[in-house]
Amino acid sequence: MQLKSLRLLMGVAETGSFVATAQRLHTVQSNVTAHIKKLEEELGVQLVHRSGQVRLTTAGMALAEYAERILSAHDEALSLFKGDRVAGSRLRIGAMETTTALRLPPVLAAFHGAYPEVDLQLHTGPTASLVERLTEGLVDGVFVAGHLDHPHYHLEKVFSEELVLVSANPMMAMPTTEALLTATFLAFRQGCSYRQRIELLLAHCGVSAARIFELGSLDAMLGCVAAGMGYTVLPRATVEAHQHRFGIHCLALPAPIAQVDTYFAAAQPATWTPALARFVDTLRQVAASDTRRPEAEGV
C-alpha cells in the first residue's frame, strides 16, 4: 500500500472525480485509476462506485479514515526535518545531578525562551545510566563526566570542573590514612563518575576500602555532609553555590584527581532533529560565555 495511492484515494473522496483528482495532484487520469484498482486488489474489496457519480463505497470510506491519519502523521514527520522547524517537537536530555543543579539552568532557560514550543524533557542520573539511556534511544543527548570511548557518539566538551573534598568542618590538609580508614563517604549510586573519583582518592591515600553510603539526590548528599555523616567529592562550583545554605567546607584534591570535564554526547550531527541542533547551538553559546568552549570531537 503506497502513500501515493492513499493520497489519490483521498482526492477521489474529496472531488468525486478521477479527472479532478488527476488535475489537483498533477498526474493523469489513468494513473489515478491504476492506483485505486491496485488498492482494491490488495485489499480484496471495492473502494469506489464507478457507475454514475464517482463516490467511495463503505469500505472506501473506512479506508479513507485511516488514510487521513496516516498521511497526516507522514506529513508531520517530514516537517520535523525541513528547515529549522521545531514547533511541536520533543527533546529529551539527560544529565547528572550536579550538572542539572548548576550548569544547566541557564542553558535550559535560554533554549526554552527561544523555542517555547518544544516539549523539553530532562532526565537525571549517573553517567553510566545516562549512557545506557542514550544507547537505547530513550534520550536525544546526555551530559556526562569524562570522555566516552564510543565510535558512534558525537562528543563536545562543554564544561571543566575542579573536584574538591567536602566535609562539615574546615580542613587544613587531607585527612590522614587512619582517618580515611574509618570515614564514611557519601556518593551517588554505582555508575557515577564522581564516585569513581572517591575510589581514586582513597587509592591515592593508600586506603583500599571505605564505607560508601549511596544517596539519590544532591540536596540529600549535602545535607548529610553538613550533619557530619561523612565526606563527599563534588565540583567546587557546586559546593560554592550551596556553601552558605549548608555550612559546608571543601579542600582541594590532588591535581590528577581534581580535574574532570563534562561532555555533551549525542548521535552524529547528520541524524539530529532541528530541535536537537538548536539545543546544541544554545549550549555552545552559554558554555562560551562561561568558559572558553573546547572543540567538538567526533569519535
Residue by residue, pLDDT tens for the chain (299 residues) are: 899 999 999 998 888 889 898 998 899 999 999 999 999 999 999 999 988 778 899 999 999 999 999 988 887 777 666 655 676 688 999 999 999 998 999 999 999 999 999 999 999 998 889 999 999 999 999 999 888 877 789 999 999 999 999 999 999 999 999 999 899 999 988 778 888 899 899 998 888 777 899 998 899 999 999 999 999 999 999 999 999 999 999 999 988 899 999 999 999 999 998 899 999 999 999 998 875 344 444 43
State the architecture of 91-299 in CATH terms. 3-Layer(aba) Sandwich (3.40)
SS3 string of the chain? CCHHHHHHHHHHHHHCCHHHHHHHCCCCHHHHHHHHHHHHHHHCCCCEECCCCCEECHHHHHHHHHHHHHHHHHHHHHHCCCCCCCCCCEEEEEECHHHHHHCHHHHHHHHHHHCCCCEEEEEECCHHHHHHHHHCCCCCEEEEECCCCCCCCEEEEEEEEEEEEEECCCCCCCCCHHHHHCCEEEECCCCCHHHHHHHHHHHHCCCCCCEEEECCCHHHHHHHHHCCCCEEEEEHHHHHHHHHHHCCEEEECCHHHHEEEEEEEECCHHHCCHHHHHHHHHHHHHHHHHCCCCCEEEC
Question: What pLDDT shows up at residue 134?
Answer: 94
Residues of the chain with CATH 1.10.10.10: 3-79
pTM assigned to the model: 0.67
For 3-79, the fitting CATH number among 3.30.413.10, 1.10.10.10, 3.90.1570.10, 3.30.930.10 is 1.10.10.10
What's residue 228's pLDDT? 95
Residues of the chain with CATH 3.40.190.290: 91-299
